[in-house]
Amino acid sequence: MSSLNVALPGIAKATHATQTQLAWIIDAYSLVFASLLLPAGAIGDRFGRRRALIAGLTIFGAGSAVAMTATSAGELIGLRAVIGLGAALVMPATLSTITGTFAAEQRTRAVSVWAAVAGGAAVLGLLVTGLALEIWSWPSVSGLNVVLAAVAIAGTIRFVPESAEHDSPRLDLGGAALAVVGLVTLVYSIIEAPSQGWGSVRTLAGLGAGLVVLVGFVLFERSVPARKGGQNPMLDPRVFARRGLASGSLSIFVQFFSFFGFIFLVLQYLQLIRGDSGLVSAVSMLPMAAAMMPTARLAPTLVAKLGPRVPITGGLVLIAAALVVLGQLTSASSYWLLVAGLITLGIGMGLAMPPATSGITSALPASQQGVGSPPPTRVTFPPTRPPPSRRSRSRRTSVERSSFRPRTRSRTACS
């Protein structure tokens, strides 16, 4: 998503898109992606995370391939919505596959690699996009997506094992419908607010309606009984009684809110205020990736020595400090001021993201790892089992240590 911002000037010139259409070329992806994350994650949990990953990558790649031929802003907006659908299937499946595959003692390190790649790729993607735009025109950005999707599909087929809960209860269609309607209404109103006015009747009515529907979603999910073989809540609000899940979710929200808002603004600052090209803008962002990726790999060691609270808190403090530094940028500012903010932001996200994400996933059993993908997806509560026999107790203990079964304490806290 951030890479396409670099190509917007070329898209505007080629398609004669208005400013509103350019905004929707970006936001159509965000709208579909945000509104379908919950049901897409539930589908992956139910029918197979590997299948969801392959399906999402296929949709993502096919939509990007067709987007290379788009000649109007309307076509591009529609295709960006299709690409958002594919991304909604991919995002929950990636992390839930990782956390469902690795044992508990390896999970934090695996999540740290995921976080380092996710954060670093956002910046490195800008560099590759800027380089492509120096050689070719804006359709090359979609061409890069096609190549990456093809490589990812091949890697998924070759290396990623299937994980699913085929005997889990049927999908919560009512909850999925309420979540989609509420999120579409809310996100659409936020996207249109700058042009319509934050105080306009249309904006306030849309925001109010979206919040009302989402409150109805919470009440509906609380009323859905969790039973084996029947309908199950897609996202039971009681799960946030688990401190690790609640605090981790809040931390991840703050980090991604800050990160993507910063990316959106800093690219405009570099290109429109400083007058840098797309390639120079992308190269200017590299210090953040250079700081984030090694720090994210170091985070599991710090967690093992100090616990998760210290790196998460320290990371969030550094993120706040970085935004204060970056808020001082002007047209006459030195590039070194930007570098100072970028390095601080990269270190902060590298420290806070892996333990926060691991805190979410470790609060849930393996059958619910889809809920650990940011944002959470589906939650189910397994039925109570009779006490194990003496013969099977040792085998069960080894499984519980790898977090492939829920812990009694966590399950009781949400009852």
Q: What does 240-287 look like in DSSP terms, one character per residue?
A: GGSHHHHHHHHHHHHHHHHHHHHHHHHHHIIIIIS---HHHHHHHTHH
Q: Closest Cα partner for 349 from 118, 127, 129?
A: 118
What mean pLDDT comes out for the span 284-291? Answer: 88
Q: Which residues, in sequence order, are CB contacts of 253 under 8 Å at separation 6+?
A: 374, 375
Token pair of 168 as six digits: 């889990």
What class has domain 2-172+224-372? mainly alpha
Say yes or no to pLDDT of 394 above 50.
Answer: no
- Structure-model confidence comparison of residues 165 and 386, the more confident one: 165
Quote the DSSP letter at residue 162: P
The region of weakest confidence among 164-178, 198-212, 326-340, 378-392 is: 378-392
Q: 375 preceded by cis ω (within 30°)?
A: yes
The region of weakest confidence among 46-50, 100-104, 263-267 is: 100-104
Chain position carrying tokens 């890479």: 3
The region of weakest confidence among 113-127, 286-300, 348-362 is: 113-127
C-alpha span between 289 and 350 (Å, rounded): 9
**342 neighbors 3 (Cβ within 8 angstroms):** no
- Structure-model confidence comparison of residues 328 and 261, the more confident one: 328
What mean pLDDT comes out for the span 219-226? Answer: 77
What mean pLDDT comes out for the span 22-46? Answer: 83
Q: Closest Cα partner for 108 from 406, 395, 311?
A: 311
Count CB neighbours of 256 within 10 A.
16
Ranges of each domain in the chain: 2-172+224-372
Does the model's pTM come out above 0.75?
Answer: no
C-alpha span between 406 and 242 (Å, rounded): 12
C-alpha span between 249 and 356 (Å, rounded): 7
Contacts 24+ apart (CB under 8 A), 21-26: 21/73, 21/74, 21/77, 22/73, 23/191, 23/195, 24/73, 24/77, 24/191, 25/73, 25/76, 25/77, 25/80, 26/1, 26/80
Average pLDDT, the chain: 78
Chain position carrying tokens 């940028």: 329
Q: Which residues, in sequence order, are CB contacts of 248 under 8 Å at separation 6+?
A: 355, 356, 357, 358, 359, 360, 363
